[in-house]
Amino acid sequence: MTDLLDVHNLTVRFGVRRKGGMFARQTYLTAVDDISFTVRKGETLAIVGESGSGKTTAALAIARLVSGVTSGKVELEGRDILPLDRDDLKDMRQKVQVIFQDPYSSLNPRKRAEDIVREPLDSLTDKSDPEKREIVDQLFKAVGLRPEQKRLFPHQFSGGQRQRIGIARALSTQPEVIICDEPVSALDVAVQAQILNLLRRLQAEYGLTYLFISHDLGVVQHMCDSVAVMYMGKIVEHADRMSLFNKPLHPYTEALLSAVPSVDPRLRENARRILIPGDPPDPLNLPKGCRFASRCPVAAPECRESAPSLDAVTPSHRVACHLVEGETSPLATLSAS
């Protein structure tokens, strides 16, 4: 299969003012630091990480929705979308759509559901009115909303239904890639399942490619084909679904996986909980070595000296850790000795 999305060395920096009254000076916060990955057509790449890891910024940069991209390339079907100007952007925006986290604040409360779904068609395409109406009708059906709900306003819908409106809006321009930014984290558990099933069904039906941003590893495990784990702006591990969940290599990935509370009592007893202490480092004052070193249970002196690069262990598994030897995780080495 071909690579639909090809991200090379993407870096996003934001200007921030440091405190200090009249001596305040401008510094930069590197939210996304030199990340590269590819996504094949029809597949789902999940980007996981904790708040502040840069996962949402990376995804929004790929949708050209943040300024501050300082270097890198984002190729969609072989064409770099970062230098595109207004007119070409319209074409690109049809191909890349976003589903947002909060279905309460991402819909205009003063517009009717049908107008919200239709909005991208109005601003990005030159379809005729009857065409648009037909598309909207089909979309309502596809996402499981009833035709008579078209005239309602967002407040008349439940959270799950609102997210369905958001999904219909994202589908309206027949996109290639949909960026799902925490699409279910604002929803109740029972409604989550409805939306996740819908997303998978739509993916199969329309051959969609998803960039799935989430902090919920259970949801990610269910949805993804491959996973990139981010920590403080860097990808620390990137692997196909089976490798990442069955053979995680980076200590941070292992800690993340072991932190998820489990309902299975056997799993709970066997699990060695890897508790990582403290909070992440200050993003304005990053250490020169590995960014995870300050919280890493196995950090060695070299980890504080130089930053590890993201190297391939197998063709579908990359990890950025000095202590990974072959295909053995440093934590496994530690517990064996």
The residues, ordered by sequence, that sit 6+ positions from 80 with a Cβ below 8 Å of its Cβ are 73, 74
H-run or E-run covering 238:
strand 234-240
**Closest approach of other proteins to the CB of residue 15, in Å:** 21
* 86 exposure class (CB count in 10 Å sphere: 0-12, 13-18, 19+): exposed
Q: How many CB atoms sit inside 10 A of residue 23's CB?
A: 7
Considering beta carbons, is residue 93 or 241 the nearer one to other proteins?
Answer: 241
**Closest approach of other proteins to the CB of residue 234, in Å:** 16
Considering beta carbons, is residue 96 or 299 the nearer one to other proteins?
Answer: 299
H-run or E-run covering 333:
helix 330-336
Measured between alpha carbons, how far is 8 from 80 in angstroms, rounded to an integer?
10
Secondary structure (3-state) at 315: coil
**Closest approach of other proteins to the CB of residue 229, in Å:** 12
**Closest approach of other proteins to the CB of residue 98, in Å:** 22
**Closest approach of other proteins to the CB of residue 258, in Å:** 8
Considering beta carbons, is residue 73 or 215 the nearer one to other proteins?
Answer: 215
Angle between helices 189-206 and 159-171 (to 10 degrees): 20
The residues, ordered by sequence, that sit 6+ positions from 115 with a Cβ below 8 Å of its Cβ are none
| CB-side neighbour CA atoms (13 Å) of 198 | 24
DSSP state of 148: G
Contact 176, 207 (CB under 8 A): no
Considering beta carbons, is residue 196 or 332 the nearer one to other proteins?
Answer: 196
Considering beta carbons, is residue 277 or 301 the nearer one to other proteins?
Answer: 277
Measured between alpha carbons, how far is 79 from 6 in angstroms, rounded to an integer?
9
**Closest approach of other proteins to the CB of residue 119, in Å:** 26
**Closest approach of other proteins to the CB of residue 141, in Å:** 17
Residues in contact with other proteins by the rule CB under 8 A: 50-51, 158, 160, 188-194, 196-197, 200, 215, 217-219, 221-223, 241-242, 245-246, 255-265, 267-268, 270, 273, 275-279
Considering beta carbons, is residue 55 or 95 the nearer one to other proteins?
Answer: 55
- Residues constituting the chain: 337
Considering beta carbons, is residue 37 or 157 the nearer one to other proteins?
Answer: 157
